[in-house]
Structure 1
Amino acid sequence: MKTSFVSNLAVQNAMRLTLQQSQLELMKLQQEMTTGVYADTGTALGSTTSRSINLRTELDRLKNIKDTNALATQRLSASQGALTTMRDSVQQIRSQLISAKGTEDKGKLDTAHTTFVNQMSAFTAAANTQFNNEYVFSGINSDVRPLTDYSAGSPAKAAYDTALANFQAANGNVQLKDFTPAQMNDFIKNSLEPMFLGSGWQGTWSQASDQNIQTRIGPSEVIETSSNTNTTGVRQFMMAAVISLELMKPELSTAARDTALSAAQDHLESGLTGIIQMGAQIGVSEGRIKSSNSSIDNQVKLINTHILDIEGVDPTETSSRLTALKTQIEISYTLTARIQELSLINYL
């Protein structure tokens, strides 16, 4: 009969390996108790893992849409703030036009002229508002400054000066101070209106695109989330401002000046209506984004519930396994300590 011997070192190594595996399992169970879901979803779910992956992919997509909505909302909010400034400029010019009607007081006319200059600059600055380094009224040309400044040397000023010079030449080199009401009306109708309300606007006065930014605000909903300076409201205001600035000077006859003033008032009212409509359209977009975000929040809650149903652990079962494993590890520690005490010296 042959006797085989097993060293206590071999037993200790076997116990050490078992202890390491138990500690790893303990860490996994502790994680599951804390998070409420499987530590290793793939191992736990097997073939049903694809359902969890699909749900999490949809969850990420909805979160990305909501992040995009946040940027769109901020851009629309910046646009609304700019439109408020633009409406204020319209109101300021309107007040000055009313007070200047029929007056021959050079002081009043000079004051009105100063107001026209300042408010036209304020309007242009507001129309060139930027958010996140993008111009909010440039349409899809968001990297291009949309509205041209009306100042000496600018394309807009040069276009006006050319139109005036051409009209004067066509009418016997008539000077501006000698314009009759009929000539003033002719100049405004046939020289200025095509410049602002026709094809002359694009490229000279505005660099914006007619096409606005489109944003997907929901899984199946795409809306416009910007505006542009090619709208009728902006065109009408700029025409009214230029008429007020250039054609209501003290040296003109009262009749010619009043003709220009009436034209400016008409275009200003149309401009105000158009700018209010721009604000209303932006407000509609803001409302649709808000509704979409509420819908996305509800979908996210529903998907999270489904994910928890698939990946969630039974807390009672996990707690029982955790307690049993702790007991097992404590026993392993005790056995290991006793095995380490075995030696031939102690036997002898």
Structure 2
Amino acid sequence: MVSYVQTISSLQSLLSRQRTTSDMTRLMMNAETEVATGRHADPFAALGSRSIEAMSTRAVYERTEGRIESNTFLQNRLDLMATALGNIREAAQEVLTATITNTDASSSRPQYLQEMAATAYDTIVSFLNSSYNGKSLFAGVDSDRAAMNSWGQDDSGTGLSPSDVMSAIVGGGITDATDAASKIAALDAAFNGTPGTAAHAYDESFFNGTPLTDGLGNANPRMTAQIDESLDISYGVQANDQGFRDLMRGLAMLATTDPADIGDDDAYEAWIGAAASALGSGVNAVLASETRTGTMQKLVEDANDRLNNKKEVLSLHISELESVDPYEAATRLTSIQTQLQASYAVTARLSQLSYINFL
């Protein structure tokens, strides 16, 4: 009778023990992660067929979180816009009140209106040049630049400042009613895009942002944002909107010619009346922009409330899918540690065996 003894080489035995130890170490590390985080160390392996559901839910969660962040950014921008519009309206209202008070030629000529208008012009320009995170608030989609030139600031394209344009149109002052009517018409054309001299146009020497229309007369894009899955808003307020053109025209008329120097009563009333009318139209338009901006603020706030609720629901669902039983994870960790310690002990004893010990 022949018997066979299967032998295992020392190297094979060593490699087998190393693989076993490595596998157990990996399992222990996974268990440690699960105990520490409360989630599967490898959720997709643990979930099996439900891993697709987990991936999809987490993708929606991340999109929702990103939209909340962008909405918060937009909310801050709208808050700053609303504040700037309120400041613009208050500064303009002060000049409007003073102008209306002095529209009657029989009253004493105001000695301070020109200086007040010039100061208000640059104050309002500073608000219109407000920016958030490096982006201009009132320049339109071309938000990488300041929206307006100040009263004495030369435009980089035409080389003319608003003061230069006004001086070129108004000239040496207002002489009579006919002269007033002619210059009022020329200013209307300049501020509404049809001047006799192209460089005198509002969009050329006053405003630096996005024109209202392109070269073919088509409306240019406005500032928009998607604040929810199916809700887009157009929130742009531009310093070349009609109301702002009227507002700045009224201020420029008063800042260019000192009403106290207009000697002809009819000319005085025509000029001051036109300036007051432009200012009144502008103040009303700014108030309308404030109201509309407030509406946009509310829409964004409501959208973020909905998104935060959605985020909470998604977070709970992800937790249900990926969470592990903390007691089960701790028990498994203890068991693996015990097995690993036993493996190390066996390996240590085997390494001490030698034929010499049995000779």
- Shorter-chain TM-score range: 0.7 to 0.9
Question: What displacement does 1:204 show?
Answer: 4.3
Matches of 1:63 and 1:336, distance apart in 2: 51
CA contact 2:167–2:256 (8 Å) conserved in 1: no
Match of 1:214 in 2: 224
Other structure's SS at 1:203 match: helix
Matches of 1:296 and 1:6, distance apart in 2: 64
Cα root mean square deviation, aligned: 2.8
1:194 correspondence with 2:189: yes
More helix by share: 1
Same amino acid, percent of matched pairs: 21
Other structure's SS at 1:222 match: strand
- Give deviations 1:197-229, integer Å, cap 9, x for gaps: 464544343333334211111111111233101
Q: How does 1:15-164 map to 2 (within 5 A)?
A: 15-97=17-99, 100=102, 104=108, 109=111, 111-151=112-152, 154=160, 156-164=162-170
Partner residue of 1:337 out of 328, 345, 348:
348
Question: What displacement does 1:152 show?
Answer: 7.5
Matches of 1:3 and 1:98, distance apart in 2: 117
CA contact 1:247–1:260 (8 Å) conserved in 2: no
1:246 correspondence with 2:253: no
CA contact 1:59–1:300 (8 Å) conserved in 2: yes
CA contact 1:96–1:115 (8 Å) conserved in 2: no
What is the one-letter code of the residue matched to 1:147? Answer: M
Matches of 2:135 and 2:124, distance apart in 1: 18
Matches of 1:18 and 1:113, distance apart in 2: 91
Question: What displacement does 1:5 show?
Answer: 5.1
Other structure's SS at 1:281 match: helix
1:263 correspondence with 2:304: no
* Residues 10/177 of structure 1: CA separation in 2 closer, same or farther (3 Å cut): closer
Partner residue of 1:178 out of 171, 175, 179:
175
Other structure's SS at 1:75 match: helix
- Give deviations 1:275-301, integer Å, cap 9, x for gaps: 111111112111111111111111112
TM-score by length of 1: 0.84
- Give deviations 1:108-154, integer Å, cap 9, x for gaps: 51x33222211111111211222222221111121243223333762
Matches of 2:223 and 2:297, distance apart in 1: 14
Instruction: Give the gaps of 5 or more residues in structure 1.
Output: 166-174
Matches of 1:3 and 1:306, distance apart in 2: 58
Other structure's SS at 1:215 match: strand
Total equivalences in the alignment: 334
Match of 1:319 in 2: 330
What is the one-letter code of the residue matched to 1:196? Answer: F
CA contact 1:135–1:143 (8 Å) conserved in 2: yes
TM-score by length of 2: 0.82
